Each structure stands twice: as C-alpha cells, then as structure tokens.
Amino acid sequence: MITTAARLNSVNEYYFSQKLREIDSLNKQGKNIINLGIGSPDMPPHPDVIKTLQEESAKPNVHGYQNYKGSPVLRHAFAHWYKAWYKAGIDAETEVLPLIGSKEGIMHICMAYFEEGCAVLVPNPGYPTYASAVKLSGATPLYYDLKEENNYEPDFNQLEELVKQAASFCPKGIKGLWANYPHMPTGQPASAKIFEQLVAFGRKHNMLICHDNPYSFILNDEPLSILSVDGAREVALELNSLSKAQNMAGWRVGVLCGDKERINEVLRFKSNMDSGMFLPVQLAAAKALLLGKDWYESINAVYKKRREKVYELLDALNCVYSKQQAGMFMWAKTTSPLRPAEELSKHPLGAGGILSDKVLYENNVFITPGGIFGNSGNDYIRISLCATEEKLGEAIERITKQELGIRNKPVNK
C-alpha cells in the first residue's frame, strides 16, 4: 500500500482550495455565487507592465534558465523600491532574493531554519500558511493572540510567557516568529513601534523575526518595512509581493529581503526547489516596481469606493467593524443572534462560520469565516474588496431581501 509521508498528517488542504471547488459545484447547479472571499485583485497591471512582458517574451534569447538569485534588473528595481517607499537601504547584489511568489518564501524560510525539536511563534488570527509551513518543517507552532482590545498588536508579556513554556517541551527552544503588518485578516496598520518591539524581542531571544509585508500599499498612506528599523537585519527577514499593489497575483512575483548571510542560507534551500523565473516576467516586474505615486493612488481610489459598499454590506449583516483598516479586506465582528447558543458552540468556526454558511447557502454570497485564521477569529468574518461595486451592490441586494435575525444595528466608526 502506498502511504503519504507522516508530515502530511499535521496539515489539511488549504481552506480556499477546498472552498473554491465547492463554489464551482454550486455554480454548476445554477447558484451564481458572488465570491467576496478571495484577495485576488480583479484589476489588471499597468499597461506598460503588460507591454514589457509582450515585447520581452517575443525576443529569441530569453527562454532559457535564469540566474538562481534573479535578474540584476529585478534585484536593483526591488532595492530602488525599498529605498523610495520604505526609506530602507538594501544591497541589490546581496540582500535581495526574488521569489516565484512570496508564499513560496514562507516555505523556504521554514525549511531553511526550523526543524523538529524547535517551536515558532505564529499569530492567531493569522495567515494559515504560516502554521502549515512550520508544521511541514517539523517544528511546533505556538500561537500568540492578537486581540481587538489591544489593536491586534502582539502582547509581549504573552510572548515572554510562551518562551518560558517552550523551554519545557522544545529542546531547541523557540527559533522564530511570524508577523504581518498591515495585518491580514484584521487590517491593523503597521507602526514603527510594533517593528521596533519585534526587533528588540528577536535580538533578546536570538530569534528569527519573519515579517510578511504584501499589503503596505493598499488603503494605507504610510508604507513601512521592518528593515527600516535599526538593528533589524541582525534578526529579521521580510517577504514582499507584487500580487496585491501591482495587480500581479497570477504572475507569481515576490521577494525576500534581509542580511546577506540570511539570503544565502535561504538560497541553499530555494536553489534545490526551482530553476528561476521566466526572464520577461522579471523584467515586467521591474517595470511595475518603478511605477509612481499616481499608480497607487489610482488603485486605492477604486478600493475606497468599494470599501464604502462593503460598509453597507456589513451593516446589512449587523456586524461591528473599524474604519481604520488597511489592506484589501474588511474584518468585522458578528452580532446577530442567528443560532441558539448550543449550536453556536458546536460549529467549528463559531459565529463567523454560521454567518458565512447562511449567507452562502441562502443568499449565494461567499464571505470568509474568520475562524479559518485561528480560533481568535471565530466571532468574525472577512470580506474582500476584490469585486466591482456592481457585484457588491448585488450582494447587498441579495442579503437584504431576507431577514437575518437583525435586531439593533451597531454604529460603526
């Protein structure tokens, strides 16, 4: 009998991989589901980016294997981008590693540094891939809570307590921490204070701080990087991506930035996993990184209008939310008494899961239950801004046609 490796027993198929198949099945039944769950930009890249790809891919000498560290053109473009927008000087030759999407970088980092016998701190709620990649590396994820009352910032007292606890069951201790600001799914913006505290914590415990930074340009006036903090390179690596702000999710272009030694360590693993990125894609990505303020303002103008429609949708669902969120999602707390308390406690994704199911199966609208990001998200839902105003309006119409058990509507600010 052929069996899978034991490491697969610790992880499940990615939630959206399963859910998209279900939505496809519902659509085949004629349901016409409005998908407000996925953060995949529906707008195209800048025309000059597409033109660069077309022109470069027509050349006869660009179709071979590429440098494992990426094209110098792309590495220098990333370095320029970091200096121009984040005020962080990085060396294009030694401190930049282009990736085939930043999601692969999460796995590369975990496999390069984490192993059985060590633990890694993972946010709850947080991007599920952090925990999955940690488990696949053989390490143990330890979850730290991000709470609304603490503005979804780390509680460093809790982090210190987790370090003490880990000493009793992880012989190699805690080797890393995953963080992500602007935070997904909650939309909490980044701050220099958070980054300074994370760097200080990493230096204190000789711990790798892994920061994931794909949302810093979406509905956010001040892009920040952890690498702009003094001393960050001693302990921090940062992932970034062109998927969101450059509308290039399907192109799979990301980057890892950090100290030369860290980059070379990750490259030891990565160079055994792929053979580089198609050169015309790299050159088009470099073009995208040179786009100016007008580009970011244009996409944010669209997202701002959509966000106003999502406010209406959340009000129709009787949810509580903050209007001070960054990124391409809205995070909101459920309040409607949709099910008896005993049923609520039995649902694996809590109140958010119940609301998501109800809206999907009764209104043909898919919204993400917050519980997929960790049990701290069980009372929440997440709605993507990657849908047109017309689609959002149709979703509102579908939902408001039926009574959802709404009582007193909350006032959101």
411 found inside a domain: no
Domain end, chosen from 271, 291, 311, is at 291
Same domain, 203 and 266: yes
Same domain, 111 and 194: yes
23 found inside a domain: yes
Q: How many whole angstroms separate alpha carbon 147 and alpha carbon 380?
A: 12
pLDDT value for 118:
96
Instruction: For residue 352, give the CATH number of its domain.
Output: 3.90.1150.10
Find the Cα–Cα–Cα–Cα dihedral 347, 9, 377, 117, rounded to 10°. Answer: 140
258 three-state secondary structure: strand
pLDDT value for 15:
82
| Token output for 4 | 């899978």
pLDDT value for 343:
58
Amino acid at position 165, single letter? Q
Total number of domains constituting the chain: 2
Same domain, 337 and 309: yes
Residue 352: which domain range? 7-36+294-400
Domain end, chosen from 274, 291, 308, is at 291
301 found inside a domain: yes
233 found inside a domain: yes
Tens-binned pLDDT, residue by residue, of the chain (413 aa): 998 888 888 888 888 888 889 889 998 999 999 999 989 999 999 999 999 999 999 999 999 999 999 999 999 999 999 999 999 999 999 999 999 999 999 999 999 999 999 999 999 999 999 999 999 999 999 999 999 999 999 999 999 999 999 989 999 999 999 999 999 999 999 999 999 999 999 999 999 999 999 999 999 999 999 999 999 999 999 999 999 999 999 999 999 999 999 999 999 999 999 999 999 999 999 999 999 999 999 999 999 999 999 999 999 999 999 999 999 999 999 986 555 555 556 677 888 999 999 999 999 999 999 999 999 999 999 999 999 999 999 999 999 876 554 444 555 66
Same domain, 277 and 246: yes
Domain end, chosen from 273, 291, 309, is at 291
Contact 184, 130 (CB under 8 A): no
Which residues, other chains included, contact 122 with Cβ-Cβ below 8 Å and sequence gap of 6+? 130, 131, 134, 141, 142, 143, 144, 177, 178
222 found inside a domain: yes
Q: How many whole angstroms separate alpha carbon 269 and alpha carbon 258?
A: 16
Instruction: For residue 114, give the CATH number of its domain.
Output: 3.40.640.10
Q: Write the CA distances from 68 to 94, 113, 242, 275, integer angstroms.
A: 13, 20, 19, 6
Which residues, other chains included, contact 273 with Cβ-Cβ below 8 Å and sequence gap of 6+? 104, 108
Distance of CA 7 to the CA centre of its chain: 24
Q: Write the CA distances from 351 to 1, 343, 345, 388, 397, integer angstroms.
A: 41, 10, 8, 27, 22
Same domain, 210 and 303: no
Q: How many whole angstroms separate alpha carbon 390 and alpha carbon 396?
A: 10
Same domain, 247 and 156: yes
The conformation of residue 83, written as its DSSP 8-state character, comes to: I
DSSP H or E stretch at residue 320: strand 320-321
282 three-state secondary structure: helix
Same domain, 161 and 278: yes
Phi, psi of 223, rounded to the nearest 5 degrees: -60, 135
Same domain, 111 and 128: yes
The conformation of residue 189, written as its DSSP 8-state character, comes to: P
302 three-state secondary structure: helix
Q: How many whole angstroms separate alpha carbon 232 and alpha carbon 237?
A: 8
174 three-state secondary structure: strand
Amino acid at position 100, single letter? I
Same domain, 128 and 32: no
| Token output for 163 | 């370090």
Find the Cα–Cα–Cα–Cα dihedral 70, 76, 80, 81, rounded to 10°. Answer: -20
406 found inside a domain: no
Output the pTM of the full model: 0.93
Phi, psi of 98, rounded to the nearest 5 degrees: -60, 145
Q: How many whole angstroms separate alpha carbon 323 and alpha carbon 247?
A: 23
* Strand pairing class (236-241; 208-212): parallel
Same domain, 214 and 70: yes
pLDDT value for 385:
97
β-bridge partners, 320: 333
41 found inside a domain: no
Same domain, 29 and 136: no
Q: DSSP alpha helices (H): ranges in 317-347?
A: 341-346
Same domain, 333 and 256: no
β-bridge partners, 255: 98, 240
11 found inside a domain: yes
